[in-house]
Amino acid sequence: MQRKLNGVLLLDKPTNMSSNQALQKVKWLFSAKKAGHTGSLDLLATGLLPICFGEATKFSQFLLDADKYYYVVSKLGASTTTGDLEGEIVETHSTKEITLEAIHAVLKQFDGEIDQIPSMFSALKHKGQPLYKLARQGIEIERKSRTVKIYQLKLVEWKEDNLILEVHCSKGTYIRTLVEDMGKKLGCGAHVTFLRRLKAGPYREEQMIELSAIEKLAEQEDLSLLDKNILPIDSMLQNIPVVSLSRLQTESLQRGRPLFLRDQLPGVVRLVDANQNRFLGIGEIEVGGKLLINRLIAQ
């Protein structure tokens, strides 16, 4: 029997499993009525995949829009059909002329705002179908260039044609495309051999739980053991200022009456019932103090 469950699970997605497959598996293990993930990871990729249950799905856009951190290992000297090691090698070049100075120079070229054309082997959808599924059928769809931002591109190690990087980037950044474009700039080609998401918004790698660990807990047939791994809904909103409402203000809010918070600065705020220390939702305070409701959780 499915149950109403609210909160966020930080899944360590395994490799060779789509984000949707991971979501459906977790949803089933938790017997959750409603769940959604916040930003696809490629089949090859592992790492942080936040799963939102129930009312948390109303606020998933905040995580979708958040910055991401990745650890990526790429192979210089070879380009593949997919941009990663799962594809066929289509072109090879010597890397003997590549220097550390050349690598640093290329890294600088990708600092800040850049334009990317998503790979056909990405999880981006076209008419409801992931591009990678279409690509495997030999279908190629025209993709529009998109502007993303690279906040930091850190060289971790360069050894025997393996280029290891840490990437801090904006939403919508395709790491395999980034690696391919860097390979072109270096004149030798490159593809991803390992990719792991380390951070997403306020969440970090050390908070994750592996799918195998969830499966072991589920075997004990005690849902309370699983639920201990669920974070509160507003944990994804830690960068948004909190406004505490009195009991009377909370009642007015829930009855749809207008609220004026003239002692608060204008902007998006996280609303909390001070009496019960309970998250209520998101609102925006206008100049003059009027509170506009964005999203409220069901009580």
Catalytically annotated residues? 42
Do you know the residue count of the chain?
Answer: 299
Going from the C-alpha of 151 to that of each of 72, 137, 173, 192, 226, the distances in angstroms are 15, 35, 11, 20, 36
Structure tokens at 289: 């103090």
In angstroms, rounded to a whole number, what is the distance separating the alpha carbons of residues 127 and 117? 18
Per DSSP, 294 falls in state E
Task: Please name which of 188, 193, 208, 180 lies closest in space to residue 72, comparing C-alpha atoms.
Answer: 193
| Phi, psi at 179, each rounded to 5° | -65, -45
Q: How far apart are the first and last CA of the chain?
A: 22
Per DSSP, 87 falls in state S
3-state SS class at 173: coil
Structure tokens at 184: 């072109």
- Look up tokens 């360069």; give the residue: 158
In angstroms, rounded to a whole number, what is the distance separating the alpha carbons of residues 24 and 51? 10
Strands 162-169 and 146-159: what pairing? antiparallel
Strand partners, 164: 73, 157
DSSP string, 264-293: S-SEEEEEEETTTTEEEEEEEEPTTSBEEE
